[in-house]
Amino acid sequence: MKYPHVRQASCLTILAFALQMYSIHAEDRCECESPGTVMLDVLARDWAARKGWPLRNFESHELQRVNADNDDSALSKIVANFNAICADDNKQLSVCSIPEDKRGALLERVAESKIVQAGDTLITADWDIGGLQPFSTIGLIDINGEPKFEPVLYLSGLVDVDCASVHHSAITVPYGVAVINGFGVKVVEAGWETIVQANGCTIDPGEHVRVTRCHSSFLWSVQCTNGERAYPERSRACPQGDSCIKYVLQAKWVSGLGKVEVEGSAKAKYAGVDLEAKLKATTYIGESDEHEAIGILCANGPITLNGKPLNR
């Protein structure tokens, strides 16, 4: 699986670049800037380019060192300035903030995560994105001087699909989807197996598609489902009719305080296939997205997904 190149580069390489930038332009920088904030600048600008955000400017500055006496204050500052980039169905960007009545729940979630540690440095991040009002967030640099949290970077993601070809004789064919955030962290992971059970021109009865993994990280939520429908299709090898299965894989995720849930016993239909579950997403801040894949499995043919063969 391929990840964003920021994550592929070693932390030492990024830190070395940040130190170089810091030393070259030290005379132009204020006293509160550090190699850690310069590294965050590199991450933010690279991520904005990958997301297609028209970033006009980004600056970050250190606020205070976190210790046992002020960690509650640090948590409160993060929550009070908890902003993210949201997009509507037409991909129009907006700045979204945590609703007032959800701040208590967010404070509790952040505290439970232990993401704020003694020795961390609280930083302010100032974003200026074309078409939006400039806004600020509060983030963290860890004790080693590396950025560890900032709401805009943490709550936004890019999809990475793992759809490797396998040998035609394979019993199971895997398919996976991951969401990678602005820190290069895999915050959502979903996976399925297509199970090849064929005897001549007939597909054996039973389960042919199943979810193998469906996980999310702190402040992300995901649910996964699938469905299949049998139908006959004549082929040269099976003139009387080849047993085929049309199947659908679906994952739905949100970031922030939102949640994806299974709607009880309700069912959903996608591309003419009944899914095992109907997924409902609720979001208050951050991103909301989904991924579907449509496959065909025939007893005497290749397995295809979104029109491309998976086995060869």
Condensed to tens digits (0 to 9), the pLDDT of residues 213-252 reads 999 999 999 999 999 998 888 777 787 777 889 999 999 9
> What H or E segment, with its residue span, contains residue 202?
strand 202-203
Q: Which of 60-64, 80-84, 295-299 has the lowest mean pLDDT?
A: 295-299
Answer whether residue 312 shows pLDDT above 80: no
Answer whether residue 167 shows pLDDT above 60: no
CB 258 within 8 A of CB 281: yes
Number of domain units in the chain: 2
Q: Quick one: 104 and 193 in the same domain?
A: no
283 to each of 21, 43, 220, 249, 287, how far by Cα in Å?
Answer: 38, 25, 10, 22, 8
Three-state secondary-structure class, residue 47: helix
Q: Quick one: 35 and 57 in the same domain?
A: yes
> What H or E segment, with its residue span, contains residue 268?
strand 268-270
pLDDT of residue 311: 64
Q: Provide the percentage of residues in the chain whose pLDDT is more than 70.
A: 87
Residue 89 or 127, more confident = 127
Answer whether residue 193 shows pLDDT above 80: yes
Q: Which of 8-12, 73-77, 186-190 has the lowest mean pLDDT?
A: 8-12
Residue 102 or 12, more confident = 102
Distance CA(45)–CA(20), nearest Å, equals 17
Q: Provide the percentage of residues in the chain whose pLDDT is more than 90.
A: 61
Give the tokens for residue 282.
């609720």
Helix axes 71-80, 103-113, angle to 10 degrees: 130
Q: Which of 45-54, 90-99, 293-302 has the lowest mean pLDDT?
A: 293-302
Distance CA(197)–CA(273), nearest Å, equals 20
Q: Quick one: 133 and 40 in the same domain?
A: yes
Whole-angstrom distance between the N-terminal and C-terminal Cα of the chain?
A: 20
Q: Quick one: 79 and 142 in the same domain?
A: yes
> What H or E segment, with its residue span, contains residue 226?
strand 220-233
Domain of 247, in residue numbers: 158-309
Q: How confident is the model at residue 177 (pLDDT cuts 50, 70, 90)?
A: very high
Q: Quick one: 147 and 209 in the same domain?
A: no
Q: Which residues contact 244 (CB under 8 A, 6 or more apart)?
A: 203, 230, 231, 232, 233, 296, 297, 298, 299, 301
Q: How high is the mean pLDDT of the chain? A: 86
pLDDT of residue 283: 86
- Give the bridge partners for 232, in sequence order: 243
Q: Quick one: 219 and 262 in the same domain?
A: yes
Q: Quick one: 165 and 195 in the same domain?
A: yes
Give the tokens for residue 64.
């205070």
- The residue from 137, 154, 171 where one domain ends is 154
Q: Quick one: 145 and 187 in the same domain?
A: no
pLDDT of residue 1: 43
pLDDT of residue 123: 97
- The residue from 154, 175, 196 where one domain ends is 154
Q: Starting from the edge strand earliest in sequence, which strands make up the sheet with 242-255, in order?
A: 220-233, 242-255, 288-298, 304-305, 308-309
Distance CA(60)–CA(127), nearest Å, equals 9
Q: Which residues contact 188 (CB under 8 A, 6 or more apart)?
A: 157, 177, 178, 179, 215, 216, 217, 220, 222, 251, 253
Residue 300 or 124, more confident = 124
pLDDT of residue 165: 57
* Exposure b/e, 133-144, CB count within 10 A at least 16 = b: eebebbbbbeee
For the stretch 253-301, pLDDT in tens is 999 989 999 998 888 999 999 999 999 999 889 999 999 999 998 887 7
Answer whether residue 10 shows pLDDT above 80: no
- The residue from 106, 122, 154 where one domain ends is 154
Residue of 60, 182, 36 whose CA lies nearest to 127: 60
The 3-state DSSP composition of the chain as helix, strand, coil percent (nearest 5) reads: 20, 45, 35
Q: How confident is the model at residue 83 (pLDDT cuts 50, 70, 90)?
A: very high
Strands 242-255 and 209-216: unpaired
Q: Quick one: 147 and 164 in the same domain?
A: no
Taken in order 208, 244, 278, 173, is the CA torsion positive or negative? positive
Q: Quick one: 131 and 213 in the same domain?
A: no
Q: How confident is the model at residue 195 (pLDDT cuts 50, 70, 90)?
A: confident
Residue 288 or 172, more confident = 288
- Residue 136's region, left for phi above 0, alpha for psi from -120 to 50, else beta, is beta
Q: How confident is the model at residue 41 (pLDDT cuts 50, 70, 90)?
A: very high
Distance CA(19)–CA(1), nearest Å, equals 30
pLDDT of residue 115: 94
Taken in order 269, 226, 279, 258, is the CA torsion positive or negative? negative
Answer whether residue 32 shows pLDDT above 60: no
Answer whether residue 8 shows pLDDT above 50: no
Q: How confident is the model at residue 64 (pLDDT cuts 50, 70, 90)?
A: very high
Q: Quick one: 127 and 171 in the same domain?
A: no
Q: Quick one: 19 and 116 in the same domain?
A: yes
Distance CA(247)–CA(233), nearest Å, equals 15
